[in-house]
Amino acid sequence: MKNEITEEFLKELLTWLKESKSFVSEQAPEVIQQYLLWGIVDNVGMIALAAVVITVSYFATFKWAPQDKCAGSWRFEKFITGLAGGVLSVFFGIGAIISAFTLAKILIAPKLYLLQAIGRLVK
């Protein structure tokens, strides 16, 4: 009785593994392609967002901030705007640089990018 149940379970398990193997082998190329495409879109989006934030920070500091009647004088609001814009620009600039290197890795060495992604999943 116990042997029959074990044998039946092993047969079902073997069938399931064979079906899973065929499913994975059929779907793996498409999944890899979609993962690489998503990596490209994600990093290009980050670079674009960083460019927008840095541009808005610049205009908020130097173009749109209120100015005194004396040319070139700084008001407190302009100082705070410049400080916030500078901090945002630094963080988003670093993010853009990291995204640019990741984008280059995807385009130049996609296998390396995939291996590193798999390595992060295994940890």
Q: Is 18 within a domain?
A: no
Short-list 120, 122, 123, CA closest to 39: 120
Q: Which domain, by its residues, includes 115? A: 29-122
Where residue 64 falls among pLDDT bands split at 50, 70, 90?
low
| Mean pLDDT in residue range 91-114 | 94
Q: Is 6 within a domain?
A: no
Q: Is 13 within a domain?
A: no
Spatial CB neighbours of 102, under 8 Å, sequence gap ≥ 6:
39, 43, 113
Number of domains in the chain: 1
Q: Is 15 within a domain?
A: no
Q: What global pTM score does this model have?
A: 0.69
Q: Is 49 within a domain?
A: yes
Question: Which carries the bigger pLDDT value, residue 121 or residue 108?
Answer: 108
| Mean pLDDT in residue range 58-65 | 74
Q: Is 34 within a domain?
A: yes
The position carrying tokens 């901090």 is: 87
Q: Is 20 within a domain?
A: no
Q: Is 55 within a domain?
A: yes
